[in-house]
């Protein structure tokens, strides 16, 4: 799903959780006002005010840190446990201490009511923290369901306790307590929060980092509260209660928009945080700013023009003075909305201090302007100070955010849109029927002119939803018919593996061994129904949203791993000639192979770069460097993996320069994440129809990308080169190992195959603050196969004859077949499978030292059979979950004396 699509989806889901509590308060208001005395109603209002102040103060807003830190740790199961454990072990004792103080402060209330208020606050704090955890883990649906449970519980128990049993304030507090308790229990058990809490995972340093992020949010919350309340206090003090009533009525309509604004803010904070580490973050923020500015300006312009209608429909009584305040407050809400949009970028980059400072400055501005003008312009001082303070906040953040990330905007365009809004406000003030009609027409035209793309996208999405609904029903009917037919005509095939469930949703990873984590299904899905989620070992697996899936089966079509694995396990026909070691029956029919220019037999070459600098700095013979140079020198592109030093993982990216390519050189003993790189490559190919692309990846990834390119109609412009693989180790283990190394400083470089001691005796090293450090523990765990992905043990690509254009890797054991060609700095093996691969190899032959070989002399373990898991794999993971990364690195990563002797004997025996 696109970033914009995720933003829209999250906004929709979170809107339920934001709207229902307000709706519950609205529905129960007649019961409370009718059944409670004025004193009890005043106490109830005091409880709600105390809640808005107490929650952020007592917890130091660590809930905000829960959300933001979990976004970065979604793919790190151990880090997730540490974050959630820290939150629980901090909130529980701190809130208990705060509630003890609160209990004695409520000395005027009866004992049972005091206890219930404290219990309500306790579970409200805990459920609030759980909701932020759910947001951080992308479980927004749980967030909204908990709000539904809380709202329904509140309404039901208020009806029972207050309306039916007539228990007054006591019943009201019981309803609040029970609602918060139910919400807490739902998230704790059904939301699975309890699974993440482990006192052994408490991390004092991480807690300190989280508190440094969260505490500036406390003055931010207090300042926001002051901005909401200070106007009314000043108006009441200088003009009386009647004037405050007029101002409160004027605020009613604009305040209704707070629900929508708060919902979008929550979704935007998540979206902005996820995007913050992308290379195009600046462009994305700039684009979203333009879209949101035009959308908000157009929307609030419509509301300003519709003020005469809204005022007549929603306002009753003698409140005519409130009319002229409403357009001013609408403009103020516009600036507030844009300010919170920019605030989402602060959250994305964990600049919580900037959020607090800017909000406090705006609160001070609001109070100063209000006090300075209240004696001269009366009620307009309140609405005017709100407008000025939010305008100040918007301008302040527009300038200040540039220190974090470049957000481009047109000052001329901003001024023009504001001039239009001012004009609409002036026409609204005139209160002339003709001008009101003209104003409404102007606002409609302005909205559609500046938001044409958005409107068309909404219409298009609506049509797509309708088509999807119709197609889904049609697919279900067709599926039922097919199932009936299959049951009648082929009962003997009932044992065949199912491709879809009973609802027609594809089964992509019904077990851990059936998915290689290539992300082809995620990339190919046309409606974004698939997300890649890490399991407890850190490996990515697809999850399908059944409500979004349109049953197009494109994900199954692009899944080369399932196809090739099924072909590998299928009974092979007797050919009479037999199969040589390392060969297998191709998954594709012969006609398809010929159409793709497959050679009659695989060609094998030993080769290395003539340029000694390239050879010395490569992990093998420098073949990838030479291949990529061939493409980059012509203005073409390369899609390959590189190491991300911030996230400590390997990721694919599209590169178009030698400088970018050099970051991708060398072996990386980890599986690379595709994310949106395949889509980026496809877009680039479509935008540059005369250019070509080189793709390099593991066998499973290359086969999947080849299917993706074929389905997308660009296979003829893509050269696919796969790499001989020993198996994909856990990204989680490497990440935690790298983080443990960083306790001694920043990891600034790594080389899994350093050849200073020779190609065959290479060693793994990293650089911590520029100092060389060995990673022999990780290399041993990798080579001993403790953390290899489940699917690697049934890999269908461990063979000589493959479907890619070329296969590259190390030419091990070449001293047996060509001892005179051995070079201690490394030699690459090139296996050429197609005519395109042969043309590519011939184009680089001039810069290589080449020796022809054959498919027998080049055989090595990973060209004959899959990598088998260690017999101690389960024990390794059990130790890791119980003791952590440092323990397993020491236990399984150190080479014992017996191990050295065993290895030496094996080497002597050959």
* SS3 labels along 817-861: CCHHHCCCCCCEEEEEEEHHHHHHHHHHHHHEEEEECCCCCCCCH
Mean pLDDT calculated for residue range 644-661 = 86
- Residue 828 to residue 559: CA distance in whole angstroms: 29
Indicate the SS3 state at residue 216: coil
**289 inside domain:** yes
pLDDT at 303 over 60: yes
Domain containing 243 equals 238-451
Same domain, 207 and 267: no
pLDDT at 420 over 70: yes
- Banded pLDDT at 13 (limits 50, 70, 90): low
- Residue 873 to residue 781: CA distance in whole angstroms: 10
**Phi, psi (rounded to 5 degrees) for 351:** -100, 65
Same domain, 820 and 886: yes
In 3D, which of 299, 300, 409 has the Cα closest to residue 345?
Answer: 409
Same domain, 44 and 1: yes
**285 inside domain:** yes
* The two three-digit tokens of residue 350, written as one number: 């964990």
**563 inside domain:** no
Same domain, 36 and 153: yes
Same domain, 321 and 409: yes
* The two three-digit tokens of residue 465, written as one number: 């939803």
- Residue 627 to residue 694: CA distance in whole angstroms: 8
How many other β-carbons are positioned within 10 Å of the β-carbon of residue 228?
16
Same domain, 717 and 852: yes
Give the pLDDT score at 483.
47
Give the pLDDT score at 700.
93
Residues 335-376 have pLDDT tens digits of 988 998 898 888 888 888 888 888 888 888 988 998 999 888
- Residue 782 to residue 549: CA distance in whole angstroms: 37
Mean pLDDT calculated for residue range 826-836 = 94
pLDDT at 588 over 90: no
- Residue 687 to residue 690: CA distance in whole angstroms: 9
Domain boundary among 403, 432, 451: 451
Same domain, 177 and 318: no
Q: What percentage of residues in the chain have a pLDDT greater than 90?
A: 24
Give the pLDDT score at 216.
80
Domain boundary among 451, 472, 500: 451
Same domain, 289 and 180: no
Report the DSSP beta bridge partners of residue 642.
651
Same domain, 204 and 262: no
Indicate the SS3 state at residue 530: strand
**176 inside domain:** yes
- Banded pLDDT at 181 (limits 50, 70, 90): very high
How many domains does the chain contain in total?
3
- Residue 249 to residue 324: CA distance in whole angstroms: 12
In 3D, which of 335, 290, 322, 326 has the Cα closest to residue 305?
Answer: 326
Q: What percentage of residues in the chain have a pLDDT greater than 70?
A: 84
Give the pLDDT score at 465.
62
Please say whether the beta carbons of 397 and 403 come within 8 A.
no
pLDDT at 248 over 90: no
Give the pLDDT score at 265.
76
Domain boundary among 414, 435, 451: 451
**Phi, psi (rounded to 5 degrees) for 622:** 80, 20
pLDDT at 582 over 60: no
Give the pLDDT score at 259.
65
- Banded pLDDT at 577 (limits 50, 70, 90): very low
Mean pLDDT calculated for residue range 75-82 = 81
Same domain, 243 and 209: no
pLDDT at 719 over 60: yes
Please say whether the beta carbons of 379 and 305 come within 8 A.
no
Residues 215-224 have pLDDT tens digits of 887 777 777 6
Give the pLDDT score at 584.
40
Same domain, 300 and 258: yes
Q: How many helices (H) and strands (E) does the chain have?
A: 33, 13
57-71, 175-189, 615-629, 708-722: range with lowest mean pLDDT: 57-71
- Rounded to 10 degrees, the C-alpha dihedral 283/289/294/298 comes to 150
pLDDT at 779 over 60: yes
Same domain, 629 and 756: yes
Give the pLDDT score at 445.
92
**402 inside domain:** yes
Residues 382-397 have pLDDT tens digits of 889 989 999 999 999 9
Q: List all residues 6 or more positions away from 588 whose beta carbon is below 8 Å from its beta carbon.
A: 803
């Amino acid at each position: 799903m696109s970033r914009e699509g995720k933003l829209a989806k999250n906004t929709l889901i979170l809107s339920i959780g934001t709207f229902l509590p307000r709706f519950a308060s609205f529905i129960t208001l007649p019961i409370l006002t009718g059944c409670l005395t004025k004193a009890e109603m005043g106490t109830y209002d005091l409880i709600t005010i105390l809640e808005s102040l107490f929650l952020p103060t007592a917890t130091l807003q660590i809930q905000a840190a829960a959300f933001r830190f979990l976004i970065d740790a979604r793919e790190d199961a151990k880090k997730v446990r540490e974050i959630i454990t820290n939150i629980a072990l901090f909130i529980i004792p701190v809130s208990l201490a705060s509630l003890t103080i609160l209990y004695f402060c409520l000395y005027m209330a009866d004992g049972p009511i005091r206890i219930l208020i404290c219990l309500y606050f306790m579970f409200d704090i805990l459920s609030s923290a759980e909701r932020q955890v759910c947001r951080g883990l992308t479980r927004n649906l749980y967030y909204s369901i908990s709000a539904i449970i809380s709202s329904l519980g509140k309404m039901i128990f208020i009806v029972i306790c207050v309306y039916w049993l007539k228990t007054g304030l006591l019943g009201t507090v019981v309803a609040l307590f029970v609602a918060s308790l139910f919400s807490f229990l739902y998230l704790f058990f059904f939301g699975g929060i309890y699974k993440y809490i482990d006192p052994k995972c408490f991390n004092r340093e991480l807690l300190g980092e989280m508190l440094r992020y969260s505490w500036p949010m406390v003055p931010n919350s207090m300042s926001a509260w002051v901005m909401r309340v200070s106007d009314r206090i000043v108006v009441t003090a200088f003009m009386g209660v009647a004037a405050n009533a007029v101002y409160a009525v004027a605020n009613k309509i604009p305040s209704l928009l707070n629900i929508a604004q708060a919902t979008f803010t929550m979704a935007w904070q998540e979206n902005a945080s996820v995007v913050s580490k992308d290379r195009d973050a600046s462009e994305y923020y700039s684009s979203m700013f333009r879209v949101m500015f035009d959308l908000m300006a157009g929307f609030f312009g419509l509301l300003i023009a519709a003020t005469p209608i809204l005022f007549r429909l929603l306002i009753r009584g003698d409140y005519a003075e409130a009319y002229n305040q409403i357009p001013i407050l609408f403009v103020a809400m516009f600036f507030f909305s844009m300010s919170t949009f920019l605030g989402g970028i602060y959250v994305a980059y964990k600049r919580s201090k900037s959020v607090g400072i800017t909000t406090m400055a705006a609160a001070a501005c609001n109070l100063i302007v209000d006090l300075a003008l209240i004696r001269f312009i009366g009620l307009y001082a309140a609405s005017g100070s709100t407008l000025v303070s939010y305008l100040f906040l918007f301008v302040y953040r527009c300038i200040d955010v540039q220190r974090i990330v470049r957000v481009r905007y047109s000052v001329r365009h901003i001024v023009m849109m504001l001039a239009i809004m001012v004009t609409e406000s002036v026409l609204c003030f005139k209160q002339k029927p003709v001008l009101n009609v003209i104003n409404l027409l102007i606002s409609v035209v302005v909205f559609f002119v500046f938001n044409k793309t958005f409107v068309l996208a909404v219409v298009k999405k609506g049509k797509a939803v309708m088509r999807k609904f119709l197609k889904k029903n049609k697919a279900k009917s067709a599926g039922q018919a097919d199932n009936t037919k299959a049951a009648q005509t082929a009962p003997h095939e009932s044992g065949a593996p199912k491709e879809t469930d009973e609802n027609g949703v594809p089964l992509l990873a019904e077990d851990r061994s059936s998915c290689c984590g290539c992300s082809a299904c995620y990339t190919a899905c046309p409606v974004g129904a698939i997300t890649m989620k890490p399991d407890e070992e850190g490996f990515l697996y697809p999850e399908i949203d059944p409500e979004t899936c349109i049953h197009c089966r494109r994900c199954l079509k692009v899944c080369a791993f399932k196809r090739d694995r099924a072909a590998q396990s299928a009974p092979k026909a007797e050919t009479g000639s037999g199969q040589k070691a390392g060969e297998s029956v191709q998954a594709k029919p012969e006609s398809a192979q010929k159409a793709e220019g497959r050679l009659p037999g695989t060609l094998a070459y030993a080769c290395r770069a003539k340029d000694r600098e390239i050879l010395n700095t490569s992990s093998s013979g420098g073949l990838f460097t030479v291949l990529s140079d061939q493409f980059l020198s012509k203005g073409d592109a390369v899609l390959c993996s590189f190491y991300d030093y911030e996230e400590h993982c390997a990721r694919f990216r599209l590169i178009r320069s030698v400088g970018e390519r050099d970051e991708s050189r060398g072996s990386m003993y980890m599986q690379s994440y595709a994310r949106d790189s395949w889509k980026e490559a496809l877009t680039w190919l479509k935008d540059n129809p005369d250019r070509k692309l080189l793709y390099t990846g593991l066998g499973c990834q290359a086969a999947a990308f080849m299917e993706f390119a074929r389905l997308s109609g660009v296979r003829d412009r893509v050269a696919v080169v796969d790499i001989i693989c020993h198996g994909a180790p856990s990204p989680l283990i490497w990440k935690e190992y790298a983080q443990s190394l960083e306790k001694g400083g920043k990891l600034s470089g790594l080389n899994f195959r350093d050849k200073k001691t020779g190609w065959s005796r290479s060693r793994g090293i990293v650089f911590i603050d520029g100092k060389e450090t060995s990673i022999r523990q990780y290399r041993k765990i990798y080579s001993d196969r403790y953390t290899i992905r489940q699917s690697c043990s049934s890999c269908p690509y461990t063979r000589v004859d493959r479907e890619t254009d070329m296969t590259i890797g190390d030419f091990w054991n070449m001293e047996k077949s060509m001892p005179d060609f051995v070079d201690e700095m490394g030699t690459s093996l090139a296996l050429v499978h197609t005519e395109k691969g042969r043309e590519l190899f011939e184009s680089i032959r001039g810069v290589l030292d080449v020796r022809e070989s054959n498919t027998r002399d080049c055989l090595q373990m990973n060209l004959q059979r899959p990598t088998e898991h260690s017999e101690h794999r389960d024990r390794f993971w059990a130790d890791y979950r119980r003791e952590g990364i440092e323990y397993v690195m020491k236990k399984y990563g150190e080479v014992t004396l017996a191990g050295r002797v065993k290895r030496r004997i094996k080497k002597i025996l050959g």
